[in-house]
Amino acid sequence: MPGHLKQGDSYVRSHLADIQAIDDAQRAAREFLISEGFPLGESTFEKICMPSRGEGPEVEAWWGRRPLYRPTRGLEWAKSRLRKSPEKGAA
């Protein structure tokens, strides 16, 4: 049927190759960011990723109700949250 993707389609392989499509995508995204040196507690990351807050890494796509994250965009998101530490004596 035209317009429907089939398993193994070149589009799927070329465009969605690095999306994390697993049962617990938030956990996988958090573990990837931790492996890259970003200290993220589980409850903090879950709170940030709540749809009502909209502060977490960008969801690349949805598979049913599962969010799918592209690791490179998650890393960009984490780097965008970096800030310099406050100077000594600053309140």
What is the domain extent for residue 61?
23-79
DSSP assignment string, 3-61: T---TT-HHHHHHSTT-B-STTHHHHHHHHHHHTT----HHHHHHHT-TTT--SSPP-E
Beta strands per DSSP E along the chain:
61-63, 66-68
Beta bridge partners of 20: 69
Q: Is 39 domain-assigned?
A: yes
Q: Is 44 domain-assigned?
A: yes
Q: Is 11 domain-assigned?
A: no
Q: Is 14 domain-assigned?
A: no
Model pTM? 0.62
Percent of residues, the chain, with pLDDT higher than 90: 15
Q: Look at the chain and report how many structural domains it folds into.
A: 1
Q: What is d(CA 28, CA 71) in angstroms, rounded to the nearest whole number?
A: 9
**pLDDT tens track for 61-72:** 887 877 788 888
